[in-house]
Amino acid sequence: MRKYLLKRVLYMLLTLFLVATITFFLMKLMPGTPYTNQAKMTASQIEIMNKQYGLDKPIWEQYLIYIFGMFHGDFGTSFQYSNQPVAYLISSRLGASMQLGLQAMIFGVFFGVILGAAAAIKHNTWADTGATVIAIIGKSVPNFVLAILLQYYIALKLGWFPIAGWGQFSNTILPTIALGVGPLAETARFIRTSMVEVLNSDYIELAKAKGLSKFEVVYHHALRNSLIPLVTLLGPYTVALMTGSMVIENVFNIPGIGEQFVKSIMTNDYPTIMGVTMVFSIGLVVVILITDIIYGLIDPRIRLEGNGGNK
Amino acid sequence: MKFKKLLAVGATLAVSAFTLAACGSKSSDSGKTLHWEDNAEISTLDPSKVTDVVGFNQLNNVTEGLYRLGKDSKITPGLATKTTVSKDGLTYTFTLRKDAKWSNGDKVTAKDFVYSWQRTVNPKTGSQYAYLFSGIKNADAIMEGKKSVSELGVKADGDYKLVVTLDKKIPYFKLLMGFPLFFPQNQKVVEKYGSKYGTASKYFVYDGPFKQEGWTGSNLSWKLVKNDDYWDKKAVKLDKITYQVVKDSNTGYNLFQSGKLDGALLSAEQTKQLKGQKNYTVFHESTTFYLQYNQTKEEFKNANIRKAISLAINRKDYLKVLGGENTAATSVTPVGLTKVNGKDFQSIVSDKTDMTYNKAKAKELFNKGLQELGKDKLEFAILTDDTDAAKKSVEALQSQLKEAFGDKVTVNTQTVPFKTRLSRSTSGDFDVVLSAWGADFADPISFLDLFTSNNEQNDGKWSNAEYDKLIAASKNASSASDRWSDLEKAEKILLQDQGVTPLYYRNQAWMVNDKVKGIIYNTAGANLNFKDTYIAK
């Protein structure tokens, strides 16, 4: 296990290094300058600024400087937020996105599993059709549409929750629902499919024959086995949710990282682009590793040891 | 059992969420609080580094310079109590009031101005707006690193006298003094916070009508509270201004409807629905959108072709496609920028003959132009941004030109990201580009300077000797009326020749609570001044 982990961590570092390198050079291919007032600056003023920020140096030299800084934990300072260290920008913005993503994930998986399991147990009845319809709607209605509807009807018309803002738990409810309906639908569909399959298998027949109660059959045997494939799906999904959704953040005025990332690309804010990309990548590789480990824990057929197969 | 537990936890969470939310907060208003929105985050409070409207608006309310700009960009008293200008117009002497204080208790002195200005022009500071100092003695050389900052033409004569020397006359110099870039900075505070200066409310010091609280550097809500150290605090009527960053205009309007905001910026779509309703307010911007022709290309050197294009555009229909609150342009300098003897400069220079839709005349000029060029058709591309609005805009132009000139014209579109458009404009890599310019200060010269032959930002390279002469003359005019007449003549030449083709002036549509009175909104520079704002009962 230890050997396996070590190897995986080494691969992770290599992946991150490659991501940093590729992002850096792609980013430098974008035309324009990182100066927000570029429209009004003359070429000679831009030249002075480039000298000031070291952007007149050859690209490979800028690359080396950046990588060197990164290894020392220095992500540089943002251009759009003058003087603000990128590390602070990310750390102060990531929390809201992570909280929201996690809440949406818990909300989605929790109700998704219930919905999916209910549909599978009541296979081919009205309950199944109902659950499928909910899942299809949840999957096909874009989350920003849902966000706008929730905001208008639940917050403005009924006044149950704040329209927008951040800081109190009540602020998080509507965005959690808007963001969580996607994973809810996905989970429900997934659980339903795999559980229908499992419920038809021989060992379930055996369990039933042994005289186990319906709950025990469903919970101990059927659900647990159906959850395994879900794990692969949920890992990357969680990262995607936690790294922020620009649209949901904008609708509910949430100080998250999603919009920052898009804005940094639009404005050529090089240090922020690099910083956010690296944080997202780290999140992703770590979650993939954790997913693989959890896989091994819940499914004894999968072995993590040795050199075989699973990399 | 685990599953049951999970179910229980989930259910509890859901229930508690609803109960918690039900007892949501109700804000209490004393009638002296304004709730305002901004559509982007504050990027910094550092006056040397601010580049955006959000930042300038904050500074305009929490700091103060020699003057404060009142209604119609009129100069009203700030820290200067007396100003004398030398006969040659090259030396300004400002006498400062003695009762002005920073919020940390320090007195605001002439040295704070000297320090601030030197800091901004210092190339090490990296100010993106330093170019506005051009014209103050040695500023250009200092910005290029050829002279030291101490040689800048600004000196403190004691604590309360500021002497500024210029390289050349700047007729709008007093107007600039109302722009936050020229406000004082407290050296002690700047040095104390170092690189943190201006990155959060607590890393800044205030000398304006309000003080900022609660901005952490990256959050979306903060407030301004009345500054008790402000010299003219008696005139300030509001106790508090709360700010929220609202990026989705639906959200803004919902907040406005629920009474959580007193002002909300509207989208083009909302404008259509809400126009003419109670609280609907239009703010003019000092931004003009226009077509620039690449006049290093033979076909666009031809004035008949340029005029034909202008006449073929039905600006009214074009703006309908674009939506929102915009006004068809008949000049480069927009509506509401500045007044000359009580008359809007725009109405003086407005050129309806060359910018009103006239298909027959357009065709005639186009054919004439083609003949002069010895061509029978013209193909060119319009370069623009890749935003939805820009795409709509360029498609409308494309179809209108096709409609007017038929097979004789092929218009292609090139939609690229904003920064790419800027780079390509600068390097002259375009046929026709849809450009926009907004003024930093309320004077026509901030537009007209752009189109002089040797201006670096004259991307289209239009050149007219008479125009250049008039602009140069305006800078040395012996009287204000001479200057206005030079500028007027110059702009008329630009328009008659269609050196650029103005399309529209951009405006903002807002919903503003009609109980809120006394907002001073200026089209150029820092837009909003809340010093005199109050909420009627």
Count how many pairs of residues, chain A against chain B, have C-beta atoms within 8 Å.
169
CA distance B245 to chain A (A): 7
Partner B, chain A 233-262, Cβ-Cβ below 8 Å: 250-255, 259
Q: Is the pLDDT of residue B301 over 90?
A: yes
Per-residue pLDDT of chain A (311 residues; tens, 9 = 90+): 678 888 888 999 999 999 999 999 998 888 778 887 777 787 778 888 888 888 888 888 899 988 888 888 788 888 888 888 888 888 888 888 888 988 999 999 899 988 888 888 887 888 888 888 888 888 888 888 889 999 999 889 888 999 988 888 888 989 999 999 988 988 888 888 888 888 788 887 887 788 777 777 777 777 777 777 787 778 778 887 877 688 899 899 999 888 888 888 888 889 999 999 998 898 888 888 888 887 777 766 766 554 444 43
In B145-273 the beta strands, taken as DSSP E runs, fall at 154-156, 161-165, 210-213, 221-226, 240-245, 263-265
Please count the CA atoms within 13 angstroms of the CA of B364 that sit on its side-chain side. 4
pLDDT single digits (tens) A19-50? 999 999 998 888 778 887 777 787 778 888 88
> How far apart are the CA of A294 and the nearest CA of chain B, in angstroms?
17
pLDDT at B29: 56
What pLDDT digit, counting tens, does each position of B12-42 carry? 554 454 444 444 444 445 689 999 999 888 9
Instruction: Kindly state the tokens that stand for A300.
Output: 């004894």
A75 touches chain B (CB under 8 A): no
Candidate from A186-195, B58-67, B363-372 with smallest mean pLDDT: A186-195
Inform me whether the C-beta atom of residue B259 falls under 8 Å from chain A C-beta atoms: no
Q: Cβ contact (<8 Å) for B43 and A106?
A: no
φ and ψ at B516, to 5 degrees?
-80, 120
DSSP-based three-state secondary structure for B68: strand
CA dist B299 and B408 (Å) reads 13
Core vs surface per residue A140-161: b (16+ CB within 10 A) or e = eeebbebbbebbbebbbeeeeb
Residue B123, both tokens: 């190339």
How much is the average pLDDT of B246-251?
92
Structure tokens at B409: 């014209």
Among the partner residues B17, B124, B257, nearest to A52 by beta-carbon distance: B124
- What tokens does B265 get? 């910026």
**Do A164 and B251 lie within an 8 Å CB cutoff?**
yes
Decide: residue A122, CB within 10 A, 0-12 exposed, 13-18 middle, 19+ buried.
middle
The confidence score (pLDDT) of residue A39 equals: 76
pLDDT band at B409 (very low <50, low <70, confident <90, very high): very high
B198 Cβ under 8 Å from any chain A Cβ: yes
Domain B284-508: state its class. alpha beta
Q: Kindly report which listed range (A151-155, A237-241, B218-222, B280-284) carries the lowest average pLDDT score.
A: A237-241
Which residues from A are below 8 Å from B387, CB to CB? none
Q: Hey, are the CB atoms on A52 and B440 less than 8 Å from each other?
A: no
Tell me what pLDDT residue A300 has. 67
pLDDT of residue B454 exceeding 90: no
**Nearest by CB to A52, which of B123, B220, B423?**
B123
Which of B199, B287, B424 to probe the A interface (max A CBs under 10 A)? B199
Q: What's residue B145's pLDDT?
A: 87
Average pLDDT in the B447-457 region?
89
The pTM is what? Answer: 0.86
Predicted pLDDT at B23:
42
Residues B88-127: pLDDT tens digits?
Answer: 999 999 999 999 999 999 999 999 999 999 999 998 888 8
Give the contacts of B373 (CB within 8 A, at least 6 positions apart): B298, B299, B302, B305
Q: How far apart are CA A61 and CA A142, in angstroms?
A: 44
Nearest Cα residue to B339 out of B448, B473, B444 = B444
Question: What is the residue-wise DSSP string for A62-106?
Answer: HHHHHHHHHHTT---B-TTTTT-BHHHHHHHHHHHHHHHHHHHHH
For the stretch A247-285, what's the b/e string if a residue is b when 16 or more beta carbons lie within 10 angstroms of its beta carbon?
bbbbbbbbbbbbbbbebbbebbbbbbbbbbbbbbbebbb
Neighbours of B371 (CB within 10 A): 11
Do residues B442 and B74 make contact, with C-beta atoms less than 8 angstroms apart? no
Count Cβ neighbours within 10 Å for each residue of A38-57 and write b for 16 or more, e otherwise. Answer: bbbbeeebbebbeeebebee
Nearest by CB to A42, from B258, B424, B456: name it.
Answer: B456
Contacts of A180 (CB under 8 A, 6+ apart): A103, A104, A105, A106, A107, A108, A111
| B2 → chain A, closest CA residue | A219
B162 in the Ramachandran plot: left (φ > 0), alpha (ψ -120 to 50) or beta? beta
Identify the CATH class of B33-242+513-535.
alpha beta
Share of chain B above pLDDT 90, in %: 75
Give the closest-approach CA distance of B454 to chain A in angstroms: 12
Give chain A's domains with CATH numbers. 94-261 (1.10.3720.10)
The complex's ipTM works out to 0.83
What is the structure's pLDDT at B3? 46
Residue A32's closest CA among B111, B421, B79, B112? B421
Lowest mean pLDDT among A122-126, A245-249, B246-250, B253-257: A122-126
Q: Is the pLDDT of residue B163 over 90?
A: yes
Domain extent listing, chain B: 33-242+513-535, 284-508
The distance in angstroms from the start CA to the end CA of chain A is: 13
Among candidate residues B398, B371, B379, the one with its CA nearest the CA of residue B304: B371
Contact, A120 vs A129, CB < 8 A?
no
Residue A304's pLDDT is what? Answer: 58
Instruction: Give pLDDT, residue B362.
Output: 94
Q: List the Cα angle A70/A75/A79 in 5-degree steps.
A: 145
Average the pLDDT over B148-165 and give the result.
96
The pLDDT mean for chain B works out to: 90
**Site from A253, A257, A264, A268 to mutate, B interface, most B CB atoms within 10 angstroms:** A253
Neighbours of B203 (CB within 10 A): 20
- Asked if the Cβ–Cβ distance from A164 to B126 is below 8 Å, we say no
Distance CA B179, CA B69 (A): 8
